[in-house]
Amino acid sequence: MTPDQYCQEKTAQSGSSFYYSFLFLPPERRRAITALYALCRQLDDAVDEASDASVARIKLAWWRTEIQKLFDGKPDHPVTKALQPHLASCGITQARLVAIVDGMEMDLDQTRYLDYAGLRKYCWHVAGVVGELSAGIFGYSDPATLVYADKLGLAFQLTNIIRDVGDDARKGRIYLPVNELQQFDVKASEILNGKYSDRFTALMQFQCDRARAAYRDALAALPEQDRRPQRPGLMMAAIYYALLDEIEDSQFQVLHQRISLTPVRKLWLAWRTYVTGGKYVQRRIGA
């Protein structure tokens, strides 16, 4: 199995919404974004699948060393070998890759965030940086596109947090800011025990409204001349925004289940966004 095949298999197995937007890219860019996504999956798995925090730290330390080897031109892992040919052409920097590792390590150090400012920092590490790297792979001419990419990464991560409240609680993590739980009078124990209430619904509506605003801010920041090359990100936005709709329609029944879209619907949303040059998602989100 070649490094590219390894990354392709890793990405396809994840069932992620991102996979559907990759299908519309030219081969070279598709290989680059698939390798980047596979690296993110490896880092995420290093934390989520480890038997304890000390094992996860050892794995992340190994990846820090492997990223150094990547930029020294001597990678060992199939994922970094697949990523290596794209470093210069796609503007992939060591600092940004290390920032993602730092974000994964934050999950070992923190299971709560006091306020949105703290959560926003975490979101930048695990999603905003990935958005910036992805924008470089897709191609852009205006540096302002990186602002859009960071904002879109934030929107994606806020959506993930809303979707995964129950899953994260079962791992002992609550990403909803502590001061916002207090604002809506929702106790952490209620979330950890999967207890629904009108107060929880109001809290989640607040989170959903903020995520929707993040999508609008992102699309408003995208320079017109880069809208076409950035279509893969807009395809992801269409899919994730539809996921928000599903979650809201369920009255935020996310404590006992993981709400998702069918593969057919994801593919349809990606295709519709692609053929309209991103205008479909712009109309949908109202940016």
Please report the beta strands in the chain, taking only residues with DSSP state E, as ranges in sequence order. none
Cβ atoms of 10 and 82 within 8 Å: the answer is: no
Helices (H), the chain: 3-14, 18-22, 27-48, 53-71, 78-83, 94-109, 116-123, 129-138, 145-163, 165-170, 178-183, 188-192, 198-221, 231-249, 263-275, 279-285
User: Cβ of 48: how many Cβ atoms within 10 Å?
Assistant: 12
224 Cβ contact list (under 8 Å, min separation 6): none
Residue 287, pLDDT above cutoff 70:
no
For 201-210, what is each residue's pLDDT tens digit?
999 999 999 9
Least confident piece of the model among 50-64, 131-145, 180-194, 237-251:
50-64
Chain centroid to Cα 174, Å, comes to 17
The pLDDT of residue 40 is 94
Predicted local confidence at residue 184, as pLDDT: 98
Q: Where are the domains of the chain?
A: 1-109, 111-287
264, pLDDT greater than 80: yes
According to the model, what pLDDT value does residue 15 have? 65
Distance of alpha carbon 281 from alpha carbon 277, whole angstroms: 9
For the stretch 103-126, pLDDT in tens is 999 999 988 999 999 999 999 999
pLDDT for position 252: 97
pLDDT class of 14 with cuts at 50, 70, 90: low
Residue 76 has pLDDT above 70, yes or no: yes
Confidence label for 48 from pLDDT (cuts 50, 70 and 90): confident
The pLDDT-based confidence of 274 (bands split at 50, 70, 90) is confident
Share of the chain above pLDDT 90, in %: 82
Residue 184 corresponds to which amino acid? F
Is the pLDDT at 243 greater than 70? The verdict is yes
pLDDT per position as a tens digit, 130-145: 999 999 999 999 999 9
pLDDT for the residue 69:
97
CA distance 56 to 105: 8
Q: What is the dihedral of CA 136, 141, 146, 147, to 10 degrees?
A: -160
Query: Is the pLDDT score of 18 beyond 80?
Result: no
- Give the chain's mean pLDDT: 93
**pLDDT at residue number 129:** 96
Give Cα 8 distance to the centre of its chain: 18
Residue-level pLDDT at 53: 87
Q: Which CATH number fits domain 1-109: 1.10.600.10, 3.40.50.970, 1.10.10.10, 3.40.50.450?
A: 1.10.600.10
SS3 of the chain: helix, strand, coil, percent, to 5: 70, 0, 30
pLDDT value, residue 59: 95
Q: Which of the pair, 23 or 106, is modelled with greater confidence? A: 106
What are 155-171's pLDDT values in tens digits? Answer: 999 999 999 999 999 98
* C-beta neighbour count of 250 within 10 angstroms: 11
Residue type present at position 15: G
How much is the pLDDT for 24?
83
The more confidently predicted of residues 75 and 50 is 75
Pick from 149, 108, 157: which is nearest to 129 by CA? 149
List of long-range contacts for 197-202, beta carbons under 8 Å, 24+ apart: 200/252, 200/255, 201/251, 201/252
pLDDT tens readout for residues 24-34: 889 999 999 99
Residue 236, Cβ neighbours under 10 Å: how many? Answer: 28
Topology match between the domains 1-109 and 111-287: yes
Helix boundaries (H) for 84-197: 94-109, 116-123, 129-138, 145-163, 165-170, 178-183, 188-192
The CATH H-level superfamily of 111-287 is Farnesyl Diphosphate Synthase (1.10.600.10)
CA atoms of 144 and 6, how far apart (whole Å): 33
What is the distance between the alpha carbons of residues 276 and 152, in angstroms, rounded to a whole number? Answer: 19
